[in-house]
Amino acid sequence: MIKKFPGETWHPLHFTGYKILRRRYAVSSFGRAASFREDVHTDGKLLNGSLTSGYRTLNLHLEKGNGTIYLHREIAKLFCQKPSAKYKYVIHINHKKEDNHCSNLKWATLQEVGTHQQSSPQKIAYKKRQANKTEGLKLNVTKVRAIKEAIKNPKRKLTYKLMAAKYGVSEMTLYRIKSGENWGKV
Q: In what order do the strands lie in the sheet with 65-70?
A: 50-52, 55-62, 65-70
Residues 6+ apart with CB under 8 A from 44: 1, 2, 26, 34, 35, 36
Within 32-159, where are the H helices? Answer: 40-43, 71-79, 110-118, 121-131, 141-152
Q: What is the mean pLDDT of the chain?
A: 90
Distance of CA 178 to the CA centre of its chain: 26
Q: Give 88-104 pLDDT, tens digit per residue.
A: 999 999 999 999 999 99
Q: Give 30-69 pLDDT, tens digit per residue.
A: 999 999 999 888 899 999 999 999 999 998 877 666 678 8
Mean pLDDT of 141-152: 92
Which of the four pLDDT bands, split at 50, 70 and 90, describes residue 132? confident
In this prediction the pTM is 0.73
Mean pLDDT of 65-91: 92
Is the pLDDT at 108 greater than 80? The verdict is: yes
